[in-house]
Amino acid sequence: MTASGKDAGPATPEPRPARLDVGVVSAGRVGAVMGAALAGAGHSVVAASAVSRASRARAEELLPDAEILPPDQVVRKADLALLAVPDDVLPGLVRGLAASGCLRPGQILVHTCGAHGVGVLGPAAEHDVLPIALHPAMTITGRAEDVTRLAGACVGVTAGDASTEDAEAAWLVGEALVVEIGAEPVRVPEELRPLYHAALAHGANHLITLVREAADILTNAGIEPAERVLAPLLSAALDNALRHGDRALTGPVARGDAGTVATHLRELDRRAPASADLYRALARRTAERARDGGLIGPDDTANIADALERHSP
């Protein structure tokens, strides 16, 4: 109601201003998606580097307002520079940026590599930037739907020695950026960053390998489409593993059924030898976890180990 008693109608919200100018180096799968997520949070992606045809198309779709520039010019224009390049490329890129004069005090410098903490940003930190490592714990393909997926994911945050005032400020800025894109920040200490990344790679990347191996074996058995058979089984197995841990283990190893394991290995060695070694390795580790979880006893564990040993090529 106005002072005259008349209803003034619904208030028109003020448009939310972009708080930071963001530069993305480069518009690969992760960079384009993270940049789009930051834009969705109210920041302005003003520049991006993109060399390949795929990265240029990605930038056009996900970062439509970004000017395509060389990396040093992207960083020069940015309040927040997002370095989204492969792990092995990052150290050289940071050294080059530090030597180019494009960095300035107070700038936020973020990289997205999982295996590196903020130590790799050392040459840039000498220019009084705020160094942060943000790694999304999500498989990213570089498509628009990844922005939505990212909103429900966790993001590993590393920002140096939290005992110093500047480092604590960097932690808080990193966590705030993660919250703004709708994700959940998880603090990862600098020295544990490689172990954190190994866990994610082991789980996500090797899961895909395992699923495709199983699909190939089913196809070799004449069962098509293999994905139709696997989808409900593997979805339930993943859900059970996350909910119930090792108690979710089923199958011949978790029952101590060494005879079935031996039969599997004979068939795999004959019909799918490339998959047989992977089966052996996973069965051995599964037996150890089943033993430690109390699902099978020492005798069953020994019988499984004997079957794996006797049927090794």
| Domains, the chain, with CATH or none | 21-188 (3.40.50.720), 198-310 (1.10.1040)
User: So what's the pLDDT on residue 167?
Assistant: 82
pLDDT above 70 covers what percent of the chain? 93
pLDDT on residue 10:
46
- Helices 226-244 and 193-220, axial angle in degrees (round to 10): 150
Q: How far apart are CA 131 and CA 122, in angstroms?
A: 8
Phi first, then psi: what are they for 40, rounded to 5°?
Answer: -65, -20
Question: What pLDDT, on a 0 to 100 scale, did the predictor assign at position 168?
Answer: 87
Residues 76-100: tens digit of each pLDDT: 999 999 999 999 999 999 999 999 9
Q: How far apart are CA 282 and CA 102, in angstroms?
A: 49
Positions of the chain with pLDDT under 70: 1-18, 161-164, 313
pLDDT of residue 12: 43
**What are all long-range contacts of 67-74, with beta carbons under 8 Å and residues at least 24 apart?**
71/25, 71/26, 71/96, 71/97, 72/96, 72/97, 72/100, 72/102, 73/47, 73/102, 74/23, 74/24, 74/25, 74/47, 74/48, 74/49
Rounded Cα–Cα distance for residues 300 and 313 (Å): 22
pLDDT at 162: 57
Q: Whole-model pTM?
A: 0.88
Sole residue written with tokens 């108690």: 247
The pLDDT, as a whole number, for residue 110 is 98
216-256: per-residue pLDDT in tens? Answer: 999 999 999 999 999 999 999 999 999 999 999 999 999 99
Instruction: Give residue 312's pLDDT.
Output: 74
Would you state the pLDDT for residue 310? 86
Q: 23 near 65, Cβ under 8 Å?
A: no
Q: Report pLDDT for 166.
A: 74
